[in-house]
Amino acid sequence: MHSLLARGNAVLAYTLSVLVTLTFACFLSTIMVDYRTATEMKTLKIEVKNLPEYGVSKKLNDLGHITFNLDTDILFFITINLFNWNVKQLFVYMTAEYETPTNELNQIILWDKIILRGENSNLHLKNMRTKYYFWDDGNGLRGNKNVTLTLSYNIIPNVGRLPIIGAIGSHTFSFPSQYTR
């Protein structure tokens, strides 16, 4: 006869085997889902200022101010619900990419939002200001003709990989050639 400890070990091992199998099945059922969605962005007000750097240094850097509209429906797209049973939450963020003479690629996160399961995920934002400062480490914003806004999101699943997904669509704008007072 088996002891109570041996029987408890067998039940626990079997239960863990079943849970691992179900978890792996959960992962496999959502690995091939295309989570991309269409988005529309538009800049309304674009300003650039030349301000001194915080701290002791008297170096002048460019600071951009943007007012934008963002329109995307993350919940439903192409008949697939983004919040399936393997998605806990989304981390949505808007980035700006541009090139300067000193840096080939500059990427700055300007706005972000965490969307939990059950929350309204329709993002129809009008006349929004950036959440974070749009600083450049020099004078690369004034007169820059190729600044691209993109929307991306990280999916936080119950189980599986943590994908970074870029939304379909972007918006390109240019900063004015004169500083705003």
One digit per residue, pLDDT tens: the chain, 181 residues? 689 999 999 999 999 999 999 989 988 888 888 888 888 999 999 999 988 877 767 788 899 999 999 998 766 544 456 777 888 888 999 999 999 888 899 999 999 999 888 787 788 899 999 999 998 888 889 889 999 999 998 989 888 888 888 888 999 999 998 988 8
Residue 178 belongs to a domain:
no
Domain count for the chain: 2
- For residue 78, the model assigns a pLDDT of 43
The reply to whether 64 and 22 lie within a common domain is no
The reply to whether 18 and 56 lie within a common domain is no
**Nearest-10 Cα torsion for 47, 173, 166, 82:** 80
Residue 180 belongs to a domain:
no
CB 89, CB 116: distance < 8 Å: yes
The reply to whether 4 and 45 lie within a common domain is no
Rounded distance between C-alpha atoms, residue 69 and residue 125, angstroms: 5
Nearby residues of 156 by Cβ (< 8 Å), 6 or more positions away: 87, 88, 89, 90, 91, 162
- For residue 113, the model assigns a pLDDT of 93
- For residue 76, the model assigns a pLDDT of 52
Residue 181 belongs to a domain:
no
The reply to whether 8 and 69 lie within a common domain is no
Residue 179 belongs to a domain:
no
Rounded distance between C-alpha atoms, residue 34 and residue 159, angstroms: 17
Record the tokens describing residue 153, joined without a space. Answer: 């999101």
The reply to whether 20 and 75 lie within a common domain is no
For the chain, first and last CA: distance in Å? 88
Record the tokens describing residue 67, joined without a space. Answer: 């007012």
The reply to whether 39 and 28 lie within a common domain is no
The reply to whether 142 and 167 lie within a common domain is yes
Query: Which domain, by its residues, includes 25?
Result: 1-32
The reply to whether 159 and 79 lie within a common domain is yes
Of 166, 128, 162, 161, which Cα lies nearest the Cα of 148?
166
The reply to whether 150 and 87 lie within a common domain is yes
